[in-house]
């Protein structure tokens, strides 16, 4: 069953929407004035909001049994967190590998910025929180993010809190599969659903980001607040513009529900999610209870085994407002459904681009890219999300370069976006993920653009 709206959440919804309307409309007026004038090419931008952790990794020949103590074959400490991993993936997969990169597995540096951060590339910025009770941000996280092309000015340092920690056990006998124990620390203490966090998350300064990436290692209430803020921003902008805005004029939201909140999110927030990226387990957790009724003796369908099950779940999210639903299936590849969103659109029937108003929708499967040897799957999903987000930003950049930025898509352009452009983005992200699993570590295993 989908999560109900508590009175507190409803109060936050009204409060933040009202607050966002007040601060956003003047900004939109300025943007509209700027759009009417000739201006230089905009640098694509991605803002990642999420967790920053320290990964403590033990590699073992097998997982220990209950009550058993095993000696690991190796132990290492790395920068990590799903948010930080996805930020690094966006940074690295949008630029070639620099020749002066330092291996953060064996050494650390206090360099505040490197030549990797260049206005010629996609602007990637990370928003999150670390703790001041340790030095992990200054000695490990910040240098690693900077060397990967990620700006860190939106990362908050929280007094009386520890940086988040993930204890990871990697099983070499199971192809590098892992188990993770997560202690959130500052990811929760410093990322509560409060006005300062939401304003920093939704700030339109210096410009509207092309892509906003979210995961679920920060409080669910904060994720909900940010998504409701996006909805409020879009409603305010549409009101000022007097029409719906095109995809390129709006921020596109990528939500990766990892770890997936039980029962999903309140149904109203999905209208803010443009791209819902889940693995097969997260897909089942996010799906509403009772979406499919199994008969007596019928084997239960799962997103991992049944394309029909995935299709029903995707249709559910399309009806709530999500245009792109992606289910990663590990070694079996990726399944996706991309199309117009809204329950009223589905009721017209699937027209595959019918100019009379049919539902434009494409469903596809992309096989897993070839892998020489699976070493570590820890950051595979985060690498996929980052690579996919880069492709969204590149698509929007190409539209602007062609003079089509901010315009509504025609039926033919929607076919191209949901069809060939979507397949290309998924294939590229799948290749990036394949390169990742051939290496050890989490963040350290994420490849650069010229390594794909």
- pLDDT digits 0-9 by tens, 412-436: 888 999 999 999 999 999 999 999 9
Domains of the chain: residue spans and CATH: 7-51+82-162+186-290+301-451 (3.40.1190.20)
Which is catalytic among the residues 340, 382, 444, 450?
382
SS3 state of residue 191: coil
311 known member of a binding site: no
The model's pLDDT over 51-63, given as tens digits with 9 standing for 90+, comes to: 999 989 899 999 9
Does residue 411 have a pLDDT over 50?
Answer: yes
* Mean pLDDT value of segment 300-323: 92
Does residue 243 have a pLDDT over 80?
Answer: no
* Mean pLDDT value of segment 253-273: 94
- Name the token pair of 229: 């803020």
329 known member of a binding site: yes
DSSP E strands in 164-271: the ranges are 164-171, 177-183, 211-214, 252-255
SS3 state of residue 111: coil
- In this prediction, residue 410 has a pLDDT band, given cuts at 50, 70 and 90, of confident
34 known member of a binding site: no
Other Cβ atoms within 10 Å of 438 Cβ, number: 15
Does residue 166 have a pLDDT over 50?
Answer: yes
Using CA atoms, how far residue 92 sits from 145, 288, 396, in Å, is 10, 36, 19
Does residue 275 have a pLDDT over 60?
Answer: yes
pTM of the model: 0.83
Is 250 in the active site?
no
81 known member of a binding site: yes
Does residue 75 have a pLDDT over 90?
Answer: yes
- In this prediction, residue 165 has a pLDDT band, given cuts at 50, 70 and 90, of very high
Q: Which residues pair with 151 in a beta bridge?
A: 125
39-53, 58-72, 294-308: range with lowest mean pLDDT: 294-308
Q: What's the mean per-residue pLDDT of the chain?
A: 83
The model's pLDDT over 79-117, given as tens digits with 9 standing for 90+, comes to: 999 999 999 999 999 999 988 645 544 444 333 334 455
């Amino acid at each position: 069953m989908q999560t109900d709206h508590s009175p507190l959440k409803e109060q936050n919804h009204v409060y933040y929407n009202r607050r966002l309307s007040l601060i956003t409309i003047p900004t939109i007026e300025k943007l509209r004035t700027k759009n009417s004038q000739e201006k230089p090419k905009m640098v694509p931008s991605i803002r990642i909001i999420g967790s920053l952790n320290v990964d403590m990794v033990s590699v073992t020949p097998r997982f220990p049994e209950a009550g058993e103590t095993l000696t690991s074959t190796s132990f290492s400490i790395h920068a990590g967190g799903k948010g930080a991993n996805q930020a690094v993936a966006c940074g690295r997969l949008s630029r070639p590998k620099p020749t002066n990169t330092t291996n953060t597995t064996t050494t650390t540096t206090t360099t505040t910025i490197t030549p990797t951060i260049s206005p010629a590339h996609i602007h990637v910025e990370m928003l999150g929180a670390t703790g001041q009770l340790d030095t992990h941000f200054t000695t490990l996280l910040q240098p690693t993010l900077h060397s990967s092309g990620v700006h860190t000015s939106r990362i908050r340092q929280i007094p009386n809190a520890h940086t988040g920690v993930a204890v990871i056990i990697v099983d070499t006998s199971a192809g590098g599969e892992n188990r993770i124990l997560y202690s959130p620390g500052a990811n929760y203490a410093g990322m509560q659903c409060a006005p300062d966090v939401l304003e920093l998350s939704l700030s339109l300064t210096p410009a509207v980001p092309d892509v906003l990436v979210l995961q679920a290692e920060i409080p669910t209430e904060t994720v909900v607040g940010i998504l409701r803020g996006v909805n409020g921003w879009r409603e305010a902008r549409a009101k000022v513009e007097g029409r719906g805005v095109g995809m390129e004029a709006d921020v596109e939201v990528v939500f990766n529900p990892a770890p997936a909140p039980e029962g999903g999110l309140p149904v109203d927030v999905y209208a803010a999610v443009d791209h819902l990226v889940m693995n097969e387990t997260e897909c089942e957790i996010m799906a509403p209870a009772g979406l499919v009724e199994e008969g007596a003796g019928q084997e239960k369908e799962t997103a991992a085994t049944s394309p029909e099950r995935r299709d029903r779940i995707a249709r559910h999210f399309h009806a709530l407002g999500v245009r792109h639903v992606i289910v990663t299936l590990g070694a079996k590849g990726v399944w996706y459904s991309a199309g117009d969103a809204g329950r009223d659109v589905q009721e017209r029937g699937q027209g595959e681009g019918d100019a009379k108003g049919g539902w434009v929708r494409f469903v596809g499967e992309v096989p897993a890219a070839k892998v020489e040897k699976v070493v570590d799957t820890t950051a595979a999903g985060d690498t996929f999300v980052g690579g996919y987000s880069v492709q969204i930003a590149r698509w929007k950049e190409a539209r602007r370069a062609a003079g089509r930025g901010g315009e509504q898509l025609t039926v033919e352009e929607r076919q191209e976006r949901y069809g060939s452009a979507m397949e290309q983005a998924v294939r590229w992200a799948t290749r990036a993920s394949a390169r990742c699993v051939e290496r050890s570590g989490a963040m350290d295993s994420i490849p650069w653009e010229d390594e794909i």
